[in-house]
Chains A and B, each alone.
Chain A
């Protein structure tokens, strides 16, 4: 079934009797050519691209809970390609280009909204770093603009220009950045994958790998053993737990990141704004809620919830940056478990076990990567070779010293 305005009108006039399930709930088969572990954004996008782009068949996505119930449904929905390093920027720009056509490809409105991201700077040194980054973006074919203080004021007059501890000096603007509806992304990929024959198995937790002679044969699950030709793991915050079942230790720690949404308010914030002198970023959803966040709590956690000091820190940052939001009320806060890697950049690679592939280490920034991560992981699974934009995301980069450390803070995940 194709979605369209016409279909919406027709169903509205005929009592909505024609809508079909967005996806099937098939029974698990005994064997698949390719199994993707993790029904988050990356797993679903991978399955979609395997079927739609790389012509693969007999594919299953195994999700321990409900599809889209992990970080894909918990994030603050920012998409952008404003990275500095050559290992990253081409990948994220590839992702941005995929965002720009995904809804038509998936026949699902994921509300990709390019309302821009404005990163503020508060010192000359920060501005110099932005200049270096903005230039790197342009050189990689992305868009970027450097705004001075007046330029920022024109875009966001409600920021604290008069009484700030750290005055706003300017900002780096990427107009093509913005937000997308997180659930819509998961559902869009799930539906499109399902339509192309992918079996999405919900409530199917992988509890072990069957590995014989260094080759993966299948997975043990809460719904029984399922054989597989290849297995791709894309479980985000659970990376450590799952790969440990295959005997692997990873350069990853799991940390909690909190997110916040306010009550619905008439729109005042046009795009995404990030504070450069504190931990705060914000956008306003199409429903009117201010969606905001800040730093990770900073300690290893699988608890999917955080603590009060970070809540206060984020609110302080928000109030310092835009005191007009004081009377907005925080409606909900929640946490997600982040796969924080040792250099802050992801891993998309084969492993020492033949047929077992790993996708993870996305930190707090994997939502924007969803389309490209799916594409590149599918490329790797289908062809055995990394996609050119993801070639730097190797597991052995740590041993070899080719880390991709955007922030320059070294092997300490809670600082990335």
Chain B
């Protein structure tokens, strides 16, 4: 696989480490208790199709990317810097 890095262009997926569903960006408020955290830590939509997910450019520039990818075809539809998505408030 090749991941089109927003800053560095297409990079071999081997340079990256995969974390999982981009819902991990949305850490619950600590006051919301264990139920909300259980959802956050354990439950996944796990869709067959479009999936927003987090990749870390570990052997590269160490940026975390939010990649939108089809889990049936592996086609990559969109890539952004996770940090920008977060600060842009669109996560």
Contacts and interface: CB of A to CB of B under 8 A. Distances in A.
Direct contact of A and B (CB under 8 A): yes
Interface of A: 239-241, 244, 249-254, 298-303, 307, 309, 342, 398-399, 411-414
21 contacts: A240-B45, A244-B45, A249-B44, A249-B46, A250-B43, A250-B46, A251-B43, A252-B46, A253-B20, A298-B18, A300-B20, A300-B46, A300-B51, A301-B74, A302-B72, A307-B1, A398-B42, A399-B35, A399-B38, A399-B42, A411-B41
B13 interface: yes
B18 A249 contact: no
Contacts of B47: 240
Counting chain B residues whose Cβ lies within 8 A of the other chain, the interface size class is 20 to 34
Interface of B: 1, 12-14, 18-21, 34-35, 38-39, 41-48, 51, 53, 69, 71-74
Contacts, number: 71
B20 A240 contact: no
A398 B42 CA distance: 7
B60 to A, nearest CB: 15
Q: Which 7 A-B pairs have the closest CB atoms?
A: A240-B46, A251-B42, A249-B43, A302-B48, A398-B42, A309-B14, A299-B18
Contacts of B13: 299, 307, 309
B13 to A, nearest CB: 7
A253 B35 CA distance: 20
Contact of B74 (A239, A251, A303, A414): A303
Q: Which secondary structure characterizes the binding site on chain A?
A: mixed
A241 B48 contact: yes
Given A254-B71, A301-B71, A307-B13, 6 more contacts: A240-B47, A252-B46, A253-B46, A298-B18, A302-B72, A411-B42
A398 B38 contact: yes
A375 B57 CA distance: 45
Contacts of B12: 309
A413 to B, nearest CB: 7
Nearest to B19: A412
Contacts of A399: 34-35, 38, 42
Given A253-B20, A411-B41, A411-B42, A299 B53 contact: yes
Contacts of B20: 253, 300, 412-414
Contacts of A240: 44-48
B73 to A, nearest CB: 7
